[in-house]
Amino acid sequence: MPRIVVLAACLALVPSPALPAAIIGTSVAAESLTVERIAGLTAKERSAWKSYLDRSARQRRADRAALEAEVKAAGLTGPLTPPSGFSARGMPLDRAPEWYAGAEARRVADIVVSFQTLAGGWSKNLNLTAHPRRQGEHFAGDNLSRYLAPGDFDTPQDPKWNYVGTLDNDATNTELQFLARVVAALDPAGAAPYRAAFLRGVDYLLAAQFPNGGWPQVWPLEGGYHDAITFNDGAVVETLRLLDGAAGGRGIFAFVPAGVRKQAAAAVARGVECILRTQIVESGGRAVWAQQHDALTLAPVAGRNYEPAALSSAESADVAIFLMELPNPGPRVVAAVEAAIAWFRKTAIHGEAYLRGPEGGRLAPAVNAPPLWARFYRIGSDRPIFGDRDKSIHDAVEETSPERRRGYNWYGPRPQAALDAYDKWSARDAGHNPSR
- Rounded-to-integer distance, Cα 90 and Cα 179, Å: 12
- Rounded-to-integer distance, Cα 173 and Cα 242, Å: 7
- Rounded-to-integer distance, Cα 94 and Cα 103, Å: 17
- Concerning whether 169 is annotated as a catalytic residue, the answer is yes
- Rounded-to-integer distance, Cα 79 and Cα 72, Å: 9
- Concerning whether 305 is annotated as a catalytic residue, the answer is no
Residues in the chain: 436
Question: Is the Cα torsion angle 85, 389, 371, 417 positive or negative in sign?
Answer: positive
- Rounded-to-integer distance, Cα 370 and Cα 352, Å: 8
Closest CA to 390 of 159, 146, 144, 151: 151
Residue type, 144: L
Catalytic residue among 304, 378, 404, 414: 304
- Rounded-to-integer distance, Cα 426 and Cα 105, Å: 39
Contact (Cβ atoms closer than 8 angstroms) between residue 327 and residue 338: no
331-347 and 258-278 helices, crossing angle to 10°:
50
Residue type, 211: P
Catalytic residue among 169, 212, 232, 305: 169
Pairing of strands 373-374, 362-365: unpaired
Residues forming the active site: 169, 304
